[in-house]
């Protein structure tokens, strides 16, 4: 897996811009532009979120669920601070979602003790 870049800009930066410009978000945003996998992203984000009262993992619903599962595995005391995020959008990738759900659920099963 490789780091996602669009026109030389890290995906993390693009998402931060989207939150600011399209969603008018004015709060703090911390990004990790150096991760290549979801596991690395959660690992690398831990120092950024350790002192947060509330933690939200935002992505498409399956990817966010995978990130939450990784956080529970790596740092359960931080995972207790997880809060829901608006990650599901009706009709989004409607034909891909069933296949992605099956694949994602199989991967998540592998994380359970």
Sort 45 into a burial class: Cβ within 10 Å, 0-12 / 13-18 / 19+.
buried
Q: Is the pLDDT of residue 18 over 90?
A: no
Q: Among 10-19, 21-30, 37-46, 90-99, name the one with the lowest average pLDDT.
A: 90-99
Angle between helices 97-109 and 61-74 (to 10 degrees): 10
What pLDDT is recorded for position 2? 46
State how far the Cα of 38 lies from the Cα of 43, in Å rounded to an integer: 9
Secondary element (H or E) of residue 62: helix 61-74
Place of tokens 């994380």: 111
Measured at the alpha carbon of residue 9, what is the angle toward residues 42 and 28, in degrees to the nearest 5? 55
State how far the Cα of 19 lies from the Cα of 11, in Å rounded to an integer: 12
Mean pLDDT of the chain: 81
Q: Is the pLDDT of residue 59 over 90?
A: no
């Amino acid at each position: 897996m490789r780091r996602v870049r669009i026109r030389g800009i890290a995906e993390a930066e693009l998402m931060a811009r989207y939150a600011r410009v399209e969603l008018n978000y004015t709060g703090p945003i911390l990004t990790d532009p150096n991760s290549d996998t979801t596991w690395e992203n959660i690992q690398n984000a831990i120092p950024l979120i350790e002192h947060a009262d509330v933690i939200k993992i935002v992505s498409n619903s399956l990817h966010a669920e995978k990130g939450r599962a990784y956080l529970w595995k790596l740092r359960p005391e931080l995972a207790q601070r997880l809060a829901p995020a608006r990650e599901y959008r009706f009709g989004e990738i409607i034909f891909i979602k069933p296949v992605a759900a099956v694949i994602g659920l199989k991967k998540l099963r592998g994380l359970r003790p």
